[in-house]
Amino acid sequence: MLRPQGGPVDAISSTQALTEAERIDRLRLIRSDHVGPRTFCSLLGHFGTARAALERLPDLARRGGATRSGRICGAEEAKAELDASRKLGVNWLAPGEDGYPSRLATLDDAPPLLAVRGDAATMMRPMIAIVGSRNASGAGLKYAGQLGEAGFVVISGLARGIDQAAHRASLAGGTVAVLAGGHDCIYPSEHEDLLAAILERQGAAISEMPLGHEPRARDFPRRNRLISGASLGVVVVEAAHRSGSLITARMAAEQGREVFAVPGSPLDPRAAGTNDLIKQGATLVTDVADIVNAVQPILGRPIMYPAGETDSEPLDGAPEAHDRAQITGLLGPVPVSIDDLVRMSGASPAIVRTVLLELELAGRLERQGGGLVSLL
């Protein structure tokens, strides 16, 4: 296992490496239609291996009412993606493997495979995220530099402004860029030099997107959950009302991460968002010591992985047609909890879970997180 050298040390779970065959199967599964991180987790829990899940996909989707069969990623395609990635120095890693950030692995929508480029040891060190407005470069430099000196890895989004300043100021201490697109689609492209500098100096870049994936607007919030999720806490340096950084902060809070905010005068609109965060319970930061002191007690704590509603439970028997009709009838566009579905349907939890999985693989169900589902 890779271990950080000196500086603060985060709790690290025991690691295990996938076989090449299992890595290919897992990549095939997550690249198949209607399989997102939560469904992946559910399928792996039900069937034990990605291979077994892949074999059952067509049947499950058909029962869920799929009108045309979803695409299943082939073994050759997956192998080609792994090979192409490796040529770029990118490894696809599963939660629990060396180089997969251990805090990120605790999310219930953690990427089943994460494309990691750079220094795996850096990914095992405690990380603090820095986000904020594009103009907050000065403060970004200050906090990022001091966090690096305190032994923390600074994680951010490689964007213009604060992200860029935070990465630059923490080059010496190690910094991680989280990409919204594939590793070969750097956005903005003028930051390719910055990324190169990061990778040269103990840093790393991560993405859950395939090579060749150009980032779209909707990929950024999705990416932001990785920034907050991989960190012990998120520092919001400046944020106006309704700024994107506030969404990242909310996500961080939902993920159980610390939220830090730098205050400002009520007369300064650039501080409206951070002041609001503090009102809502974020820790006020004027000094890096405020951040370090707050995360120190967490560092020692063992990392808790989500129990996973289905992880250890097999699929008990096949639902009957009337089960499917009844459970599907209880679903609509308004999210309902799985607990309520079990209660209202009178079916066993295992039957309800199976019907939901079938609907999901048929592209008819959306999981909202927090155990809520809705029909598409």
- Residues of this chain that interact with a copy of itself (CB under 8 A) are 139, 262-266, 268, 271-272, 275-276, 278-279, 283-287, 290
What lies within 8 Å, CB to CB, of 106 at 6+ separation is 229, 303, 304, 305, 306
In 88-201, which residue ranges form alpha helices assigned H by DSSP? 120-123, 137-149, 162-169, 192-200
In the structure encoding, which two tokens stand for residue 299, read together? 């560092």
Nearer to a copy of itself by Cβ, of 267 and 307: the residue is 267
Each as own residue / partner, the long-range contacts of residues 45-54 (CB below 8 Å, 24 or more positions apart, any chain) are 45/308, 45/310, 45/311, 45/312, 45/313, 46/310, 46/313, 46/314, 46/315, 46/357, 49/22, 49/25, 50/22, 50/25, 50/26, 51/21, 51/22, 51/25, 53/29, 54/25, 54/28, 54/29
CB of 169 to a copy of itself, least distance (A): 16
**Closer residue to a copy of itself, CB minimum distance, 172 or 284:** 284
Structure tokens at 314: 């097999």
Whole-number Å distance between alpha carbons of 318 and 70: 21
CB nearer to a copy of itself: give 269 or 317: 269
Q: What is the DSSP letter of 185?
A: S
User: How far, in Å, CA of 16 to CA of 336, rounded?
Assistant: 36
Would you say 174 or 273 has its CB closer to a copy of itself? 273
As beta bridge partners, residue 337 has 372
Q: In angstroms, rounded to a whole number, what is the distance separating the alpha carbons of residues 84 and 276?
A: 45
Alpha-carbon separation of residue 318 from 150, 306, 315 (angstroms) = 55, 26, 8
Contact in structure between 75 and 28 (CB atoms under 8 Å): yes
- Smallest gap from Cβ 237 to a copy of itself, in A, equals 10
Taking the complex as a whole, the smallest distance from the CB of residue 238 to a copy of itself amounts, in Å, to 10
Q: How far is the CB of 127 from a copy of itself (least distance, A)?
A: 22
- At closest approach, how far in Å is the CB of 233 from a copy of itself? 16
CB of 283 to a copy of itself, least distance (A): 8
User: Is the Cβ of residue 214 or residue 287 nearer to a copy of itself in the bound state?
Assistant: 287
For residue 277, which amino acid is it?
L
Cβ at position 167, least distance to a copy of itself in Å:
21
Which CB, 214 or 268, lies closer to a copy of itself?
268
d(CA 277, CA 271): 10
Q: Cβ closer to a copy of itself: 190 or 268?
A: 268
**Which is closer to a copy of itself, CB of 53 or CB of 277?**
277
Token pair belonging to 210: 């395939």
- Min separation Cβ 248 and a copy of itself, Å: 20
